[in-house]
Amino acid sequence: MMDTVAELGYTDFSQAPKKNVHEAPFERNCSVGRTIAIIGDTWTFMILRECYFGIKRFSQFQDILKIPRTTLSTRLQMLTEEGILQKVPYNTSTTRFEYRFTQQGLGLYSVMISLISFGDKWLSDANPLPVKLFHRNCGQVLKAIVACSQCRREVKGQDVSYRNGPGSGWSPMDPERVKSRHSHFFKSTESVRPSSVARTLSIIGDRWSFMVVREAFFGVRRFDELQTALGISPNILANRLSKFIQNGILIKIPYQDTPPRYEYKLTNMGRDLFGPFIAMLEWGDQWLSNNLPPLLLTHKVCRNDFRPCVICSHCGEAIIPQQVRYEMSYPNPVNASSN
């Protein structure tokens, strides 16, 4: 995978447009980046998680997540404006609303399920899973895999090659996206509603972390190359790399002794983030690319171009929210049908 990426120019940063000192940095067109720009902070992901558990009302979100009222209001408004949620009145005699998924929002379920699968595998610490999922289609305990749309086999990072799509290129970065957004609420939400999503997001739950992982899959391994590719400040990059090493996502390997220089490579655990990565890419291609995907994927195993799909490992059917049943290993903090 890495050689193919390099050959196609993904690590040739001379292709990026030059900018004046007062201009915003440029970023590579990428459906993962566009997806993360919308849902790329931990509060947003956790609100979406609660929506999939059946939570719909403002007070319920607050009770479960212990989220500041202003923060919750801002995130719900953003998700509504982006077309992921819609506000629906639930009492005609009042102005009270509940939040329900649009088709676009339901499409994010594949991303959520792939994050759950990663957390179940790597972050359970041999404890019982906080939430057990069952696939109604086949009646089996659900194990979700990200598969090739052509051959329906599970897709691994080393089995995928890339080439530029019709939407490839570089665009100015939104100044708001340059800011570091990092949430520090993991312990409080874990104590109320334990979740493999929360555990996964405690490691990668902000935009910069996702983008560093993206570049690692593109074969970008060195500090200066990562900084150039992302337009990220050195202190934020150093923080994310250090955190990834501490949590087992990356390993640090010297490639030069004098002065000391290092490369950052994905571990087996880090490579397993490929599923969530291409699930985000697929959602961004479908909803945010105007039918001009920046990147085209080829599955080396079947030699076909493909679109990632999240399927049940037992029956091979696509996973949709209505076909998943949950069993929680702890008392449900809120009855989803309550006011």
In a domain, 339, yes or no: no
The confidence score (pLDDT) of residue 190 equals 61
In a domain, 260, yes or no: yes
Is 30:177 a contact under the CB 8 Å cutoff?
no
Output the six-digit token pair for 221: 């391994």
Residue 114 structural domain: 2-10+27-328
Residue 266, beta-bridge partner list: 250
Domain tally, the chain: 1
The confidence score (pLDDT) of residue 244 equals 97
In a domain, 333, yes or no: no
In a domain, 223, yes or no: yes
What is the chain's pLDDT, residue by residue, as a tens digit (339 residues)?
Answer: 343 444 344 445 555 555 554 455 677 899 998 998 888 777 898 899 899 989 999 999 999 888 899 999 999 999 999 999 999 998 777 678 999 999 999 999 999 999 999 999 998 877 788 889 999 999 999 999 999 999 999 999 999 999 999 999 988 876 665 554 444 545 555 655 677 887 888 888 788 898 899 999 989 999 999 998 888 899 999 999 999 999 999 999 999 998 999 999 999 999 999 999 999 999 999 999 999 999 999 999 999 999 999 999 999 999 999 999 988 877 666 554 443
In a domain, 16, yes or no: no
In a domain, 208, yes or no: yes
Residue 257 φ/ψ, nearest 5 degrees: -90, -40
24 exposure class (CB count in 10 Å sphere: 0-12, 13-18, 19+): middle
Output the six-digit token pair for 309: 């799909």
In a domain, 104, yes or no: yes
pTM of the model as a whole: 0.87
70 exposure class (CB count in 10 Å sphere: 0-12, 13-18, 19+): exposed
Other CB atoms within 10 Å distance of the CB of residue 138? 15
CA-to-CA distance for 265 and 39, rounded, in angstroms? 26
The confidence score (pLDDT) of residue 266 equals 97
What counts of helices (H) and strands (E) characterise the chain?
15, 13
In a domain, 20, yes or no: no
